[in-house]
Structure 1
Amino acid sequence: MSNTKKNKMVRVAAAHVSSAFFDPAAGVEKAIKFLTEAAKAGAELVVFPESFIPGFPIWNALSSPISGHANFVKFAAASLRVDGPEIKAIASAAAEQKISVSLGFSEVASYSAGCLWNASVLINAQGIIVNHHRKLVPTFYEKLTWSRGDGAGLSVIDMPFGKVGGLICGENGNPLSRYTLMAQGEEIHCANYPPIWPFKDPRDSEPYDLADAIRVRAAAHCFEAKVFAVVSSGFITDENLEMLCDDEEALAILKASPRSASMIVTPSGTTLGETLTDREGLVIADIDVGSLVELKQHHDMAGYYNRHDIFHVSVNRSRHKPLHDMVNHSPNSQAQTSSTLEESLEIINNI
């Protein structure tokens, strides 16, 4: 009997790299450096960490809210517009190197210098942004920095090498977010994480094992969705820690907190290539997207192994807006001006 299985090999890369905190220009330079290295190694897709530019707001875990104003102001000033020059520079480099890029960054709204989102973009090998996602819910102390996102970016994009989706950090444990990607035929999952996640004082109790939490989330999604996951986490240097902490107690907590890890995970929950934790670099592996079809005969959560007649999942893909203009163009609009104004004011007051 001939082997009818169709191989579809793709080389992917996860960047385990440190951020240039509060310095978007340096962040762009570093992103271009590593995407170029990944392209030269033959990768068709490279994934960068959560909020790689301009860094992850770790200080929220360590200081009181009233002590974090200065860092928030600096962070907001260093955050990126999705249509800004920094993203365009990275997109141009992706086109030049002919590689697709998943980039985590802190996004600032066009209408408010203080409205930020934890965001990611997927850029194709032609340098075009094909998806733009904002993390649905900021986790724990992230709420001091980022706003809630929306469903517009919960999309799977059909790329030449496979169908690509992605989620940010804790979203990788959200069943409905993950199912939304499964239901669109996701084959390659991009997951990005911070370099460190202080959850409780690791000196007084068993520390939160970030690397293990990342591995468990990735393995669960890969097994359930029958996908490969490219997991990119940040790396943090001693220089980063000392710059972010002017308090010895906070510095001691950070130094004792477990670090994150970058890895490439298979549908069986195993990893391909090395797992990076304690140094910067690229995790590179070849994955066979063609192998996923056979696995779906066993469990296909978006297909025969679901009951669409029982369960109904819908997604609101509209972008959040701070203002909705209501204009009445009818001939009798003058008589309706008062009610229209009242409706508009009601909408504005409820934002």
Structure 2
Amino acid sequence: MKRTFSQYKVAAVQAAPEFLDLDAGIEKAEMLIAKAAEQGCKLIGFPETWLPGYPWWLWLGSPAWGMRFLKKYVDNSLQIRSPQFERLKNAARKNNIVVVMGYSEMGATGSLYIAQCTINSDGRLVHSRRKLKPTHVERTLFGEGQGSDLAVNELEIGNVGALCCWEHLQPLNRYAMYAQNEQVHVSSWPSFCLYEQMAYALGPVVNLGQSRSYAVEGQCYVIASVATVSSAMVDLLCDTPERQELLKVGGGYAAIFGPDGRQLTEHIEPTEEGLVVADIDLEAITYSKAVADPAGHYARPDATRMIVNRKGLHPVEFLDGDADGEANEVERAASPFPDKPM
């Protein structure tokens, strides 16, 4: 695809989700998409599982206690072939903007996945991906992605990729993305408001440091989108003083980084909702690549290299017999990626 734009604006979302309410979340997404377009942005990136919100109860109590939220979360998770998804596509097309959305995906077999989709400015679904390895207690709710989810997509605004949260702490994930000449990366985070006094590694300094490091390692622009936690979410989830100490209101630290590691935006207040917007120029990547291209001239494949398996394994394959009883070609069934464009 021929690149149409080299210099343009991008937006990182810092906003609370409409928690456990998919339709209200879609409506809020439409508003933010339109707002970004009004400011001249060509891309907007949303936080991790922003639809219908990050399941914070996983970190606040036992699995049995958290079951009270399960059905509503499942019922409000997004399906790719759904009226709600069509609304996202229409919003991208109407506003002529690339949308990278973070959401809880309801798969074809009923499992949930931490997912991101890239929708082009013409309203076309370019790619849907799933987090390769949910982090810690996330594994009690979400399934895993596969090697095909480490993808960079060639769009009219450049080569665009995305990862979620602590996927940025997995070095091989990062390297696989760098090797695809990623130019613009959406780094989606749920909020930095959990275990504030107990777990420094979950806070904004460490995690935004990962986004900054990603930019300078990969010589790309990084749009770090970070959700906020609303007071209504705390009221719902934190029914004891102990839980109120574990999860706080706010936690938003959205930022945008350049390929030299420079932060291009000022932070808004951690409890404030809005868009963080920056001008980017893909030509600046040329100068960074000339110094250190980690998967190019700066690599040493004779010493170290990696393998990415893009061929997914599927839990069920049906061998259909023809009239003579001979097996026809294998047909995929219950695929982990039933909704991806072929």
Q: Does 1:98 align with 2:96?
A: yes
Q: 1:227 aligns with which of 206, 220, 225?
A: 220
Quote the residue 1:78 is aligned against: 76
Quote the residue 2:127 is aligned against: 131
TM superposition shift of 1:69: 1.2
Distance 2:63 2:199 in 1: 25
TM superposition shift of 1:281: 0.4
TM superposition shift of 1:8: 2.8
TM superposition shift of 1:319: 4.3
Q: 2:254 aligns with which of 251, 257, 262?
A: 262
Q: Does 1:67 align with 2:83?
A: no
Structure 1 counterpart SS, 2:134? coil
Q: Does the 8 Å contact 1:214/1:261 carry over to 2?
A: no
CA change 1:91–1:206 in 2 (3 A) is closer
Q: Does the 8 Å contact 1:210/1:258 carry over to 2?
A: no
Distance 1:61 1:332 in 2: 53
Q: Does 1:176 align with 2:168?
A: no
Distance 1:206 1:136 in 2: 23
Structure 1 counterpart SS, 2:291? coil
Structure 2 counterpart SS, 1:230? strand
The structure richer in helix per residue is 1
The AA in structure 1 aligned to 2:260 is S
Quote the residue 1:271 is aligned against: 263
Distance 2:79 2:226 in 1: 22
Distance 2:294 2:134 in 1: 27
The AA in structure 1 aligned to 2:53 is G
The AA in structure 2 aligned to 1:224 is E
Quote the residue 1:57 is aligned against: 55
Q: Does the 8 Å contact 2:252/2:272 carry over to 1?
A: no
Quote the residue 1:23 is aligned against: 21
Distance 2:89 2:35 in 1: 15
Larger Rg: 1
Q: Does 1:9 align with 2:1?
A: no
Quote the residue 1:32 is aligned against: 30
The AA in structure 1 aligned to 2:37 is A
TM superposition shift of 1:74: 1.5
Distance 1:40 1:151 in 2: 36
Q: Does 1:140 align with 2:133?
A: no
Quote the residue 1:296 is aligned against: 289
Quote the residue 1:44 is aligned against: 42
Quote the residue 2:336 is aligned against: none
Structure 1 counterpart SS, 2:266? strand
TM superposition shift of 1:207: 4.6
Distance 1:136 1:227 in 2: 22
Q: Does the 8 Å contact 1:19/1:53 carry over to 2?
A: yes
| Comparing 257-266 and 226-235, the one that deviates more | 257-266
Structure 2 counterpart SS, 1:274? coil
CA change 1:329–1:211 in 2 (3 A) is same
Q: 2:117 aligns with which of 95, 118, 121?
A: 121
CA change 1:258–1:127 in 2 (3 A) is closer
Deviations along 1:185-207, whole A, 9 cap, x unmatched? 10111010002453x572xx565
Distance 1:67 1:321 in 2: 32
Q: Does the 8 Å contact 1:48/1:233 carry over to 2?
A: yes
CA change 1:209–1:80 in 2 (3 A) is closer
The AA in structure 1 aligned to 2:314 is K
Q: Does the 8 Å contact 1:136/1:148 carry over to 2?
A: yes
TM superposition shift of 1:102: 0.4
Structure 2, unmatched stretches of 5+, are 328-342
Q: Does the 8 Å contact 1:210/1:260 carry over to 2?
A: no
Distance 1:329 1:312 in 2: 44
Quote the residue 1:286 is aligned against: 279
Structure 1, unmatched stretches of 5+, are 1-6, 337-351
Structure 1 counterpart SS, 2:100? strand
The AA in structure 2 aligned to 1:299 is A
Q: Does the 8 Å contact 1:231/1:263 carry over to 2?
A: yes
Q: Does 1:238 align with 2:251?
A: no
Structure 2 counterpart SS, 1:297? helix
Q: Does the 8 Å contact 2:223/2:257 carry over to 1?
A: yes
Deviations along 1:56-90, whole A, 9 cap, x unmatched? 01011111111111212211111111222211101
TM superposition shift of 1:308: 2.8
Quote the residue 2:85 is aligned against: 87
Quote the residue 2:318 is aligned against: 325
TM superposition shift of 1:258: 7.8
Q: 2:106 aligns with which of 100, 105, 108?
A: 108
Distance 2:305 2:185 in 1: 23
Q: Does the 8 Å contact 1:117/1:134 carry over to 2?
A: yes
CA change 1:201–1:296 in 2 (3 A) is closer
Structure 2 counterpart SS, 1:94? helix
Distance 1:286 1:83 in 2: 33
Structure 1 counterpart SS, 2:234? helix
RMSD (Å) for aligned C-alpha atoms: 2.0
The AA in structure 1 aligned to 2:132 is L
